Amino acid sequence: MSNGLTNLRIKGIERGKRVYIIVNGKKTEAYEGETVASALWAAGYKKFRTSVKNRENRAPLCGMGVCYECLVTINGIPNIRSCMTYVNNGMEIETDE
């Protein structure tokens, strides 16, 4: 991967069309049908946000829209649940990493 992170996707799995998203300013591979959370995980991102109260690292927990631990900024809109949002080509994502 061009962003220096590890590609954690399982080889040989049939995927949607390859697209590119911009994560913290870096062009990152993703596939149609993936959520933003899964694309970030697959690209090796481990910290999605910082908790307001204790300034702790946070990342997806439930993966189904309940816990709100996966919030990121997408196309300039803050606090979007990355586990509930599908990637689009050219989407710009910001994490607290």
Nearest one of 89, 57, 60 to 75, comparing CA atoms: 89
Nearest one of 76, 94, 68 to 84, comparing CA atoms: 68
- Binding to ligand FES by residue 83, rule CB under 6 A? yes
SS3 at position 38: helix
Question: Would you say 75 and 82 are in contact if contact means Cβ atoms under 8 Å apart?
Answer: no
Rounded Cα distance, 69 and 58, in Å: 6
- Binding to ligand FES by residue 31, rule CB under 6 A? no
- Binding to ligand FES by residue 39, rule CB under 6 A? no
If binding means CB under 6 A, how many residues of this protein chain bind ligand FES? 12
Among the listed ranges 5-13, 20-28, 58-66, 87-95, the one in contact with ligand FES (CB under 6 A) is: 58-66
Among the listed ranges 1-9, 19-27, 38-46, 54-62, the one in contact with ligand FES (CB under 6 A) is: 54-62
> Which residues contact ligand FES by CB under 6 A?
60-63, 65-70, 81, 83
